[in-house]
């Protein structure tokens, strides 16, 4: 089995947050931990709200030389000066996103538990594939992505893989040898001190 270097953290925003308070919480986490990328994952389809949030968080991330992607809103990436998009429909729109954003943008795809979907996404130009949930979560259809999927992927496929959904210290420890990134969001934002909550998960990465 291919041994992956210590996984990196892909920080995911809550699906809903107060723009008067969340930026400070985000900044505190970014200053306390080494974060590879941030994903703006607001549930709202209100473009004005998404745009205002993106403008604020982009400034926080780019000041720290951290890339920021947006979930699903492909049409807003270039307009808002973001670094890429996280697609939630598997491989279906990867090729379209790559063509629209160019070679330098980040294009990632959530592929549930399907190695086949992940392989198609990679062939279409994705920079990473995301499998999940790895715990009890409503992510996707709720069906878990098991350790075997990540182990197979890390051995057979060079494309980076992301683990997401109801992560615990125990699951992080188990997946760390076969995962490139952990997408961490809800696991820490409900805590009084998100940076401390993230420290617990980061320690489990080895």
The domain that holds 187 is classified in CATH as 3.20.20.70
Whether residue 113 lies inside any domain: the answer is: yes
How far is residue 198 CA from its own chain's centroid? 15
pTM: 0.96
C-beta of residue 176 within 8 angstroms of C-beta of residue 169: no
Whether residue 100 lies inside any domain: the answer is: yes
Residue 138 pLDDT greater than 80, yes or no:
no
> Quick one: which of 93, 101, 53 has its CA closest to 77?
101
**Rounded distance between C-alpha atoms, residue 30 and residue 11, angstroms:** 9
Strand segments, DSSP code E, in the chain are 8-12, 37-40, 67-71, 84-87, 106-110, 128-131, 161-164, 181-184
Whether residue 53 lies inside any domain: the answer is: yes
Q: What is the percent of the chain with per-residue pLDDT over 90, rounded to a whole number? A: 93
Q: How many CB atoms lie within 10 A of CB 149?
A: 22
Whether residue 44 lies inside any domain: the answer is: yes
Phi first, then psi, for residue 97 (nearest 5°) are -65, -40
Give per-residue pLDDT as tens, 41-94. 999 999 999 999 999 999 999 999 999 999 999 999 999 999 999 999 999 999
The pLDDT score that the predictor gives to residue 4 is: 56
Phi first, then psi, for residue 49 (nearest 5°) are -65, -45
Averaged over 2-24, what is the pLDDT?
Answer: 90
Averaged over 25-29, what is the pLDDT?
Answer: 98
Q: Take residue 101 and report the two structure tokens written for it.
A: 């954003």
**Rounded distance between C-alpha atoms, residue 113 and residue 1, angstroms:** 20
Give per-residue pLDDT as tens, 121-136. 999 999 999 999 999 8
**Rounded distance between C-alpha atoms, residue 144 and residue 138, angstroms:** 10
Whether residue 3 lies inside any domain: the answer is: no
Q: What average pLDDT does the structure give for the chain?
A: 95
Domain that holds residue 93: 8-203
Whether residue 1 lies inside any domain: the answer is: no
Helices (H), 34-88: 47-63
Following CA atoms 177, 203, 38, 108 in sequence, which dihedral angle do they give, to the nearest 10 degrees?
A: 10
Averaged over 105-128, what is the pLDDT?
Answer: 98
Looking at the structure of the chain, the number of domains it has is 1
Whether residue 129 lies inside any domain: the answer is: yes
Whether residue 2 lies inside any domain: the answer is: no
């Amino acid at each position: 089995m291919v041994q992956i270097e210590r996984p990196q953290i892909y920080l995911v925003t809550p699906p809903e947050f107060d723009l008067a308070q969340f930026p400070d919480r985000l900044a505190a986490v970014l200053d306390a931990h080494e974060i590879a990328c941030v994903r703006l994952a607001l549930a709202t389809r209100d473009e004005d709200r998404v745009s205002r949030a993106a403008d604020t968080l982009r400034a926080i991330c780019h000041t720290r030389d951290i890339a920021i992607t947006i979930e699903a809103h492909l049409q807003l990436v270039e307009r808002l000066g973001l670094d890429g998009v996280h697609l939630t429909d598997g491989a279906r729109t990867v090729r379209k996103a790559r063509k629209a954003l160019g070679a330098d943008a980040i294009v990632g795809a959530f592929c549930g538990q399907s190695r086949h979907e992940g392989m198609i996404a990679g062939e279409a130009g994705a920079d990473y594939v995301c499998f999940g949930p790895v715990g009890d979560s409503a992510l996707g259809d709720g069906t878990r992505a098991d350790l075997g999927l990540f182990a197979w992927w890390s051995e057979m496929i060079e494309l980076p893989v992301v683990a997401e959904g109801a992560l615990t210290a125990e699951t992080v420890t188990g997946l760390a040898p076969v995962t490139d990134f952990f997408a961490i969001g809800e696991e820490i934002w409900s805590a009084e001190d998100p940076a401390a909550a993230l420290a617990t998960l980061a320690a489990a990465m080895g």
